[in-house]
Amino acid sequence: MPAVLGFFLKLLPFFSPLAEKLFPAASAKAEELRAEKELVEARAFAKGRISPAYLLKFVCVALFAVFGSAFAMHLFFPETFPASPIDELKELFSLGEGLFRQ
């Protein structure tokens, strides 16, 4: 399946069933590869290893929870938490950008 077709499958949900009817072999191959990848990740998880994709999701959820709670604390108790979490998040993004540029 061409990369452009994969992009449209993610962009337009109703396009996926149409593409499966037009390209059944590509769809079957993609499903087989996806199932194989999930099986490998499930076996690794059973052995106590976490895949990078799952680890990234855990980190994103943790960061969301930290900055969400910091924003709520700043909103309800501004005198106790004077630093704006939005400004701190901007500084964190610029720090991350600097790490990728090096």
* Distances in whole angstroms, Cα of residue 29 to Cα of each of 21, 35, 41, 61: 14, 10, 18, 32
Q: What is the pLDDT of residue 9?
A: 59
Q: What is the pLDDT of residue 26?
A: 64
The structure's pTM equals 0.48
pLDDT digits (tens, 9 = 90+) for 9-23: 566 666 666 666 776
For residues 77, 83, 89, 94, the Cα torsion angle rounded to the nearest 10 degrees is: 180
pLDDT digits (tens, 9 = 90+) for 32-89: 888 898 888 888 888 888 877 778 888 989 988 988 888 888 888 888 878 888 888 8
Of residues 3 and 42, the one with the higher pLDDT is: 42
pLDDT for 3 beyond 60: yes
Q: For the chain, which residues make up each domain, given as ranges?
A: 3-46, 52-101
Burial status of residue 41 (CB atoms within 10 A of its CB: 0-12, 13-18, 19 or more): middle
Q: What is the pLDDT of residue 19?
A: 66
